[in-house]
Amino acid sequence: MTFALPELDDLNDAVLAARLKHLLDHKTKPLGSLGRIESLALQIGLILRSERPQLTSPQVVVFAGDHGLAARGVSAFPADVTWQMVENFLAGGAAISVLARQHGLDLTVVDAGVARDIVPRPMLQIRKVAAGTADCSRGPAMTQEQCARALREGAEVVRGLPGNAVLFGEMGIGNTSSAALIMARLTGLPLTQCVGRGTGLDEAAVQRKLAILQEALLANADAHEPLAVLRAFGGFEVAMMCGAMLEAAAQGRVIVVDGFIATSALLVAHALRPLVLQRCVFSHQSDESGHARMLAHLRAEPLVRLDLRLGEGSGAALAWPLLESACRVLREMASFEAAGVSNAGTEARP
């Protein structure tokens, strides 16, 4: 079976956009004084097609998978850390577990392709395509059917979740390498501008990683179309996240993008359906060196920069209160007229 790409509507609704801007401009504040919060409020209003947007039952989804490339030593951590961190998510001890509790976010962990079987329990969805991908330095990371299945499974995850906002995260030792390869092939940037320190490599290790990833590019020299690139270099967690993002966009949900790896999944989704970007809020710019360039390629402006390089959806969860605040400004902040407050700039306002 193949993956059926969903159709996406263009959210450029001039009438609604003008109404949202009018509402924001007439709140009890100087014109534009809430800066990015105002543009965020306008974006969320357009995504949810409402002048009084409300974010309901927000979902954090962390996709986990192992990478055959990890055996080449591209990470500072052993591959076993993938399943160990999945256990940590489920036990409530990881950073994303803490942040999800703090902000009232439902957390779902998806086994997209972890090399070790995880005991079923609440919060866990087992959708394992295989026990890790193949080594992409010797050929494609996954077969065509595996790639299509991962995309379909990601879409199914979103279909089964409530709410109108999804925060995307991931876990997989070696997946900064996967993201860097996807980035290099889809953006055309030199590999040296895409590869960073990942989980904390020293300079010598970065150079070894760079050489191995160059092998992967050569081994998949014919992969240039978006799905071919995903198949060649992506982890199952990246492919599943790509399918989930496309489905979330088709359902009109707000998509909150985390860091480097999550953005690489979006890079593929964007190449397939450019309108997916209209639904995306970019939570932060990570400390992984290629992320700023990836964001620039997408012309995306992150909400914050906190020098994070953790993944898991942690940056998306940290930025979440800003989305809540933007919606509350639209819904709850009084206008000059309603509050009986004099507005010196009334004549200049539309």
Go through 134-166 and write b for each residue having 16 or more CB atoms within 10 A of its CB, e for each that does not: bbbbeebbbeeebbbbbbbbbbebbeebeebbb
**Cβ atoms of 145 and 126 closer than 8 Å:** no
Dihedral (CA of 345, 326, 47, 266) sign? positive
**Cβ atoms of 267 and 282 closer than 8 Å:** no
Instruction: Choose, from 38, 170, 288, 312, the residue flagged as catalytic.
Output: 312
**What token pair was written down for 58?**
């927000």
**Half-sphere CA count of 231, side-chain side, radius 13 A:** 20
**Cβ atoms of 226 and 293 closer than 8 Å:** no
Whether 145 is a known active-site residue: answer: no
**Cβ atoms of 216 and 181 closer than 8 Å:** yes
> Which residues are the active-site residues?
312
